[in-house]
Chain A
């Protein structure tokens, strides 16, 4: 690989990860451009979530290179250090602070104030209020600013969590199944939100819902048995024989699923 001209936001090369003898990730090599919106699909157990765990420091690779931006090595860092570099992660099940209001959820996600001491004595500034207002507009939660997050509808929680990633000023957003459990309308709106973020942010979206993938996908990566099976546009991927076989092997109807 000699692509020195282009700058990658994320580089994974020859990454291996084994859990109790099970090769979750094997020889994974993956490059992503700055500002790209990349969709990752793959059957269950293909290693999608493990890949996110490796990038965010939740688990460490046995072997291989994981770099953020030009040359920041991520393999030795832990979750909060990696987050502070500008990598935000949205979990599959919405995880928001249920006992806090929408405002407080966003406030706790704003950058700065990460030490115990600062947390004891910091106050909310004018600039922070303005930023929260802005985020409320983007996520269309302005009407729920004082509502406890635990009382929000499922789709609103998902949007709030995306808002929290934006509040962190994350450059790279890792979004795990953002539409799980959403209505069609919510799904479409979430798609619009993610599309509007591409360019200014880099995004990796893991998704199962192919209608949604069609809505947002520019470039799709298919993972299978812990490595990249193929990459391309939605149509290219759907017509790839290997991909069809992988899904067929798992007794899925490829026409319906892809």
Chain B
């Protein structure tokens, strides 16, 4: 079975890459806006956002699905990457802001005499681009070092990561923290001299995001084939055995935690210019939890699963927040419960589960009873949540 699935995955990824990276951008660029084939700028922008989320989801799965480390603070790293690039974009506004000052608007408003020292190097794109990776990496390194050295595992690790992102969120909300307080960073105008409002720039950002996602996928695919990847799963299944086999498991966990923080940072950096804003609510604990739900829905422990989960849940969110704006969180919670109870392996695991069910049904005659059991069990769970 695995070789066939690999084949399927290979062709699936190849076709999806072609559509995302070539077909959609071409349909956005070439047909006239009145044509039925035209893909709107809005759609490209929306899909770009989904692709950022998909890359974030892979970074979570690398920790949760492959190493058994549930991080409920992954959006912190995503936001840090976003802030790093956002700072550069703020400085690129120049005198075009509301106050026609060299300083970003919020600094003028709050009465800053000059640009704070730590903002200065962000004038350089290369510095900001490096910070997108090393700032989340450094935070993960320090936090991970302390957590893994103290052997914090399982649910305690999850709670600590959640506390970390919440603490950071509260700090960024403060106006005197020099990152724009609750309004965050916004009103970006240019990236590398290109107008952010032009369709061509947005299309390029979208393609970059697609390439980042493909790169992330390929990197993780390679990682799973190495002995490191095997050790990751060994740590997930029996950490003591790995430790008592002479491996310093803390180093392995630290490496993967830092790597996944960096990947999340990159995704966040591409998210910001496409969405046009970054503020502390992106670090909120709810965002990180939501991202964990994408992975659970798609299927953890796989690389395609998180991508599917991120895209499907967010597409659902786009629809639900328009159709039933007040009910979205209930939808999300219900979805999570449904998936946890009925689809432990997510959407990716569904065909296998159906096959098993069919085999069981054909082996044992009366399948009707089984089916109704499921329906009964599903209802009260949902009703309770409403």
Interface contact A108-B238, CB-CB below 8 Å: no
User: Which of B227, B240, B247 lies in contact with A122, CB distance below 8 A?
Assistant: B227
- Give B231-256 as 1s and 0s: 1 = Cβ < 8 Å from A's Cβ atoms: 10110111011111111110110010
Bound complex: CA A161 to CA B241 (Å): 9
Among A113-121, A198-206, A215-223, the stretch that binds chain B is: A113-121
Chain A residue total in the interface (Cβ 8 A):
31
Contact residue among B228, B241, B246 (Cβ-Cβ distance under 8 Å from A120): B228
Measured CA separation A122–B226 after assembly (Å):
8
A83 and B226 within 8 A (CB): no
Let me know if B248 and A114 touch, CB within 8 A: yes
Alpha-carbon separation in the docked complex, A91 to B248 (Å)? 18
**B233 touching A120, Cβ below 8 Å:** no
A83-B241 contact given A108-B227, A119-B231, CB 8 Å threshold: no
- Contact partners of A107 in chain B: CB under 8 A: 227, 230
| A contact residues around B252 at 8 Å (CB) | 116, 119
Chain A 80-112 interface 0/1 with B at a Cβ cutoff of 8 Å (1 = within): 100110001101000111111000100111010
Q: Is A116 touching B228 in the complex (CB atoms < 8 A)?
A: yes
Interchain nearest-CB distance for A203 vs B (Å): 16
Chain B interface mostly helix, strand, loop or mixed?
helix
- Which residue from A98, A108, A111 sits with its C-beta under 8 Å from B231? A108
Residue contact A119 to B226, C-beta cutoff 8 Å: yes
User: Inside 8 A of A104's CB, which chain B residues have their CB?
Assistant: 230
Whether the pair B247, A114 counts as a contact (CB closer than 8 A) is yes
Q: Are B230 and A109 in contact (CB under 8 A)?
A: no
Once the chains bind, are A56 and B244 in contact (CB under 8 Å)? yes
- A97 and B227 form a contact (CB under 8 A): no
Contact of B245 among A108, A119, A122 (CB under 8 A): A108
How many angstroms from the CA of A80 to the CA of B231 in the assembled complex?
14
- B-side contacts of A121, CB under 8 Å: 226
Given contacts A97-B237, A99-B237, A100-B233, contact A119 B244 (CB under 8 A): no
Q: A98 near B238 (CB under 8 angstroms)?
A: yes
Which residues of B are found within 8 Å of A158, using beta-carbon distances?
none
CA A88 – CA B245 in complex, angstroms? 7
Q: Is the CB of A164 within 8 A of B237?
A: no
Which chain B residues lie closer than 8 Å to A111 at the CB level?
246
Within 8 A of B (CB), among A19-43: none
Does A227 make an interface contact (CB < 8 A)?
no
In the complex, A89→B243 CA distance in Å?
11
Which A residues lie at the B interface, using CB under 8 A?
A: 56, 79-80, 83-84, 88-89, 91, 95-100, 104, 107-109, 111, 113-116, 118-122, 161, 164, 168
